[in-house]
Amino acid sequence: MGKTYIDTVKYVVTAKIEVDGLVDKSDVVGAVFGQTEGLLGDELDLRELQKNGRIGRIEVDLKPLGGKSIGMITLPSSLDIVETSILAAALETVDRVGPCEAKLTIERIEDTRNQKRKTLVDRAKGLVKQVMTTEIPE
């Protein structure tokens, strides 16, 4: 994933996209911004959220497959889970990319802090083990 431009990524929205035609990544990003603009009001406008560092860069990974474009979209978010879920639902309203019909489906919303917690617990266990074997005499 590229630069996100936000300090703390709490959630990462992952979506699958299928487009009935060959399109570019920039076409998909343009469709996401264009078709969600004004849908949720000013507080959840994607451009404003990105400008203010509340969401990161929308990453698109596309592959051509039999005259279609199929791929994944990732959207990092520092919003709370409710606002992030609302944005995810808004992404699913995208039904066209350029002149082609499209279907966008949210695959998952991942809490990135869970991985950090797991890493923290594993490191703490390692530190306790190290102290027990090197610092505390038997």
pTM for this predicted structure: 0.80
Number of domains in the chain: 1
Q: Which amino acid is at 125?
A: K
pLDDT for position 138:
60
31, with CB counted inside 10 A (0-12, 13-18, 19+), is buried
pLDDT for position 13:
97
Domain at 86, CATH number: 3.30.70.2690
Q: What domain range is 47 assigned to?
A: 11-111
What does each of the 138 residues of the chain score in pLDDT, given as a tens digit? 444 456 688 999 999 999 999 999 999 999 999 999 989 888 899 999 999 899 999 999 999 999 999 999 999 999 999 999 999 999 999 999 999 999 999 999 999 888 889 999 999 999 999 998 887 666
Q: CA-to-CA distance for 66 and 68, rounded, in angstroms?
A: 5
SS3 call for 74: strand
Does some domain include residue 133? no
Does some domain include residue 56? yes
pLDDT for position 101:
96
Q: CA-to-CA distance for 93 and 102, rounded, in angstroms?
A: 10
Residue in the block written with tokens 């992030």: 84
Does some domain include residue 61? yes
pLDDT for position 7:
64
pLDDT for position 4:
46
Structure tokens at 129: 């083990």
pLDDT for position 35:
94
Does some domain include residue 102? yes
Cβ atoms of 45 and 125 within 8 Å: the answer is no
Does some domain include residue 122? no
Angle at CA of residue 17, ends 59 and 21, nearest 5°:
110
Does some domain include residue 90? yes
Q: Which residues contact 47 (CB under 8 A, 6 or more apart)?
A: 33, 37
pLDDT for position 6:
60
Other CB atoms within 10 A of residue 80 CB: 11
Does some domain include residue 26? yes
Does some domain include residue 4? no
